[in-house]
Structure 1
Amino acid sequence: MPNPHRRLSDPRELNALAHPVRMAIIELLSVSGPLTATELADRLDETPANCSWHLRKLAQHGFVEEAAGGKGRQRPWQVPGLGFRWDDEHASASMDERRAAEALSEVVMGRAIDRLREAQQRASEEPEEWRAAHSNTEMVAWLTADELKEMNEAINAVLDRHVERLTDPAQRPAGARLCEFVAWGVPTYFPGVDPA
């Protein structure tokens, strides 16, 4: 089982992650395991020097660490645990913390939306069973704050059901592929529609 989510609140930590290359590095290390700066560069279409620089910045905040084996340029890096949590709307957060959290949320959600677009563009290339399993869902509903909280907790419980497969390949059934779910449950604002 992976280490628990790390809760972020320090604006310096949030800002360190709020960079597309750094977030891409974290994502790749999370799903592929230890990789060298050169391997990351090949996958990200970056230079090894640029990836090394970003790895050192991430290491300063404990987001990555050196993995066993290798040295110098062949030194692999890994994440010490999976996932992060942060609040971009917490009432007690400082203005700097809120701004940094919003910037990190923008990077994370922007990358997820880019992956959704790529999946949609490549859908016709997928075998029928994967096209049939694919789904996009969007809905709005009138809920109380308690109901919204309950639905978000239920969705999170479903999404966490197979989290151990990220770190333990033996848990992955034959034919499994890396899939992504993005969910948010928030009050929404439509022009001319006031809260009840």
Structure 2
Amino acid sequence: MTATDPRLRAMAHPVRLRMLSLMWSAPLSAAELARELDISHALASQHLRKLDTAGFVELVEVRAHRGGRERRYRTVRGTPLSDEQVGTPLVAESLAHNLRERAARRTRATAGVTTDAELWVAPEVWDDVRQRLAALMADLHDAAQVPHAPGTVRVGTTLMAFLLDEPTPAQSSRA
């Protein structure tokens, strides 16, 4: 994918990434998303249209609501953040924005996991760890429930793990 790809552009916005997460467990309308994200209904609708046009959400329900019709969408299963986009600066910037915002809201009294690494490992170790990380995130997504469901806690998770290119000679000489 290139930076001008409409699917990449659609998911390379922090609000749209949050919307995809919220709609993973249950369908939500633009009004529900607006309330959850503390944005205007018009802005939520605009972001939702971009996600719909790009094929990241699907319409699952139209229901009568206050004399009108409420459309509820859910995230299409599978992850739009595939290996193809991991190195894309647009997506990395969007993930970094969400991480900064979530980190500011972190509950201090409970345990979390914070780590960072740039390591050298055997290829088979990398393949095993990458697959386990993907499986852990799939487990977390599969366990997701409707926002504010009784007995649930809100968690923030941002994960990027990828192979690094070797620095070019020019990059090495600047270090």
- Same fold by TM (over 0.5)? yes
Structure 2: unaligned runs, 5 residues or longer: none
Contact 2:62–2:69 (CA under 8 A) maintained in structure 1: no
Structure 1 residue 107 displacement after superposition? 0.7
**Bigger shift: 21-30 or 178-187?**
178-187
What does 1:47-196 correspond to in 2, within 5 Å?
A: 47-71=40-64, 72=68, 74-84=70-80, 85-88=82-85, 101-119=88-106, 122-123=107-108, 126=109, 131=110, 133-166=111-144, 175-183=151-159, 184-187=161-164
Distance in 2 between the 1:154 and 1:39 partners?
33
Query: Which residue number in structure 2 is paired with residue 24 of structure 1?
Result: 18
Structure 1 letter corresponding to 2:29: T
Structure 1 residue 13 displacement after superposition? 0.8
Q: Looking at secondary structure, tell me which structure has more helix per residue.
A: 1
Percent identity, please.
23
Query: Which residue number in structure 1 is paired with residue 29 of structure 2?
Result: 36
TM-score, length-scaled by structure 2: 0.70
Encode CA deviations 1:115-153: one digit per residue, 9 max, x unaligned.
13321xx31xx4xxxx2x423233454323343233222
Kindly report structure 1 stretches of 4+ aligned residues shifted beyond 4 Å: 188-192
Q: 1:186 to 1:57 in 2, by over 3 A?
A: same
Contact 1:58–1:64 (CA under 8 A) maintained in structure 2: yes
Q: Looking at secondary structure, tell me which structure has more strand per residue.
A: 2
Superposition CA RMSD, Å:
3.6
Structure 1: unaligned runs, 5 residues or longer: 1-7, 90-97, 169-173
